[in-house]
Amino acid sequence: MKKGIHPNYRPVVFKDFSCDFAVLTKSTIKTTDTIKWEDGKEYPLIKLEISSGSHPFFTGKQKLLDTTGRVEKFMKKYQKKS
């Protein structure tokens, strides 16, 4: 591998502040923010707006649309008038 052409691959904390969910993983993303993790060390911080901790699909609070009657309503509205 050539020296100096690869990004810095390091541990980074991704935190969703809407539900206080955080995960420590590795990434090459650049940031100036830092956070103190559970192990007492300080890691770069990436702030998230939505994550698996707050997304309705993963939390089970997904809102299902009522699709019954939608086809009938469409057909009634756009059927040919005789």
Tens of pLDDT along 5-52? 988 899 999 998 888 889 999 999 999 999 999 999 999 999 988 777
Other Cβ atoms less than 10 A from the Cβ of 13: the count is 22
pLDDT at 20: 84
Q: Confirm whether pTM is higher than 0.75.
A: no
pLDDT at 36: 96
**With contact defined as beta carbons under 8 Å apart, do 15 and 27 qualify?**
no
pLDDT at 54: 72
**In this model, does residue 62 exceed pLDDT 60?**
no
pLDDT at 57: 61
pLDDT at 74: 80
